[in-house]
Amino acid sequence: MLVHQESLSETVDATNAALFEGHKIPTEERQRVARWIAARQGLPGAYGDTFAGLPAEQKRGIVLFTGERITSASARHILGEEACRVLQMLRVSDASVELALERASDGLMRCLQRASLDPRNTNPGRFCCGKCTVGLWRHLLAGGLDRREERLRKGVAHLRTMRNGDGQWRVFPFWYTVLALSEIDLPQASQELKYAAKSLERAARRAQPSTTSAKRRHALAKLALDRI
């Protein structure tokens, strides 16, 4: 069962896991998950009219698919982007789900438009900070929002300027960033994965890990290296 009644982030995570691992989700389960997520749209605590986490996760934050913990406004924003992404990926034909996704997408577009008014923000491919920027990319990759190619291309170009010289990036969470890069079909994304290759190779060579996050990172390292 993919729905976790006490946690939107865990429901999104379980669905992301099924999609990442290539599992076929039955139509009835897709509908159940999509409708449950859609019912969280616009509730108190939702970022930009997207989808609200339950009280406990609003207080403590969330854990990303790749294991990094995110708190405060970033957690609310990324959860909204990831919930939109899951609904895009599930592709459920249901009026309530479609309306909720439309309202959430409109809310995020308003946030992007407000951000673009800041004279310091001249790059449409980034949003406030590194971790939130990756959440934006993940949503774009699923077909949400607008200016997909431009935002991804300019966003990855910005990522290059954030290299720290040690195979990682300043302010961008490493594994969450690699997850997005592994899906971006642009030469610039492959170049960033090549930059991170040594870290990915070390992770891929490790013995099969035991924790869920470590297993995902192990699989992701191999997947990313195949893109190079």
pLDDT tens digit sequence for 3-30: 999 999 999 999 999 999 999 999 999 9
End-to-end CA distance of the chain: 35
pTM of the shown model: 0.96
> What is the reported pLDDT for 99?
98
Mean of all residue pLDDT scores within the chain: 96
How is 149-197 classified by DSSP, letter by letter? HHHHHHHHHHHHHTB-SSSSBSSS-HHHHHHHHTT--SHHHHHHHHHTH
Answer whether 15's CB lies under 8 Å from 33's CB: yes
pLDDT per residue as tens digits for the range 88-107: 999 999 999 999 999 999 99
* Mean local confidence (pLDDT), 135-146: 98
pLDDT per residue as tens digits for the range 157-211: 999 999 999 999 999 999 999 999 999 999 999 999 999 999 999 999 988 788 9
Which DSSP symbol is given to 211? S
* Mean local confidence (pLDDT), 143-157: 97
- Going by pLDDT thresholds of 50, 70 and 90, the confidence category of residue 119 is confident
> What is the reported pLDDT for 118?
85
Locate the domains of the chain by residue range: 1-117, 147-228
Looking at the DSSP bridge assignments, the partners of residue 70 are 62
d(Cα 34, Cα 56) in Å, to the nearest integer? 21
